[in-house]
Amino acid sequence: MKCITYVSKVVARKNSAVIPVGFANMFSAARKKNAELQITGLISCRSGYYIQHLEGDNNIVDQLFSKIKSDSRHHQVTVLFEFEIAQRSFPEWNMKLVATANEDASFLKFMDQNSGKISSLDNTQRQLLGIFYGLKSSSPNSRRSYEGKSLMLLAWPDLMLLRQSPTVIKLCAQLTAQPYPYNSLLESRRFGTQRQLDKILQKFETLEILSVTDSLKQNIPVNRVGSSTRFYSKMKTFLGLR
């Protein structure tokens, strides 16, 4: 057995971003056919996107998915997960239709059991999954501990994030150019409490701009305030924040 989870863009009626073309007919036909094919799974539609999870015998899932992929009632089909399974996650549903996948216990269980696969999704896949599933609160990365690690930014976040907080700019400045120990960031108390600091770092991780490595040098002096403040001040001017 195998499963496939994909997200696709709804083809909506003119002037309607939310009601997909022919969904009711398509859905009842699909349920009937899935029962014959012993396909189970879930489908949800939100913000102009479908998410569908299909599970069943390998060949049957592949054949059905290749039909679904070329269905003109949706487009931009992006596969998030495709892997062999020993048992079904939706055994009782030939196609469970849910308004909010995020609140469906079976869907959440499936996500929880496959959290490792979520962390290897690329940026586009993560964004698409994020329409249906709050990655920030449930990604394994968001619960990681940075203790004893060195951190460095691979790129700066966009201006919207920077505008939210001068602390974010200060932290960006500190993590630019070379890896910096998390423990020193914490001890300096320039970035709020541990919870506040972790929240910003987790945001950087979600954006995939944070490099986290094992710390080699724990004793980098904390006092780089002068140069960082100058940098921060220049950034503020550059960003038009004053």
Ligand X SMILES: Cc1cc2nc3c(=O)[nH]c(=O)nc-3n(C[C@H](O)[C@H](O)[C@H](O)COP(=O)(O)O)c2cc1C
Where on the chain is the footprint of ligand X (CB under 6 A)? 26, 30, 33-34, 50, 52, 64, 67-68, 71, 73-74, 95
> Please, what is the minimum distance in Å from the beta carbon of residue 71 to ligand X?
3
Nearest one of 142, 139, 137, 103 to 121, comparing CA atoms? 139
DSSP-assigned letter for residue 142: G
Closest separation in Å from C-beta 67 to ligand X: 5
Q: Which residue lies nearer to ligand X by CB, 22 or 148?
A: 22
CB of 26 to ligand X, least distance (A): 5
Phi/psi for 50 (5° steps) reads: -100, 150
Contacts of 105 (CB under 8 A, 6+ apart): none
Instruction: Tell the smallest beta-carbon distance from residue 132 to ligand X (Å).
Output: 13
Nearer to ligand X, 62 or 206 (CB): 62
Distance CA 93, CA 104 (A): 13
| Residue number, 128 or 185, with CB nearest to ligand X | 128
Instruction: CB nearer to ligand X: give 67 or 230.
Output: 67
Please provide residue 218's backbone torsions phi and psi, each rounded to the nearest 5 degrees.
-90, -15
**Least CB distance from residue 17 to ligand X, whole Å?**
16
H-type alpha helices, 145-213: 159-164, 166-174, 182-188, 194-206
Of 17 and 239, nearer to ligand X (C-beta) is 17
CA dist 200 → 51, 57, 67, 122 (Å): 29, 43, 43, 21
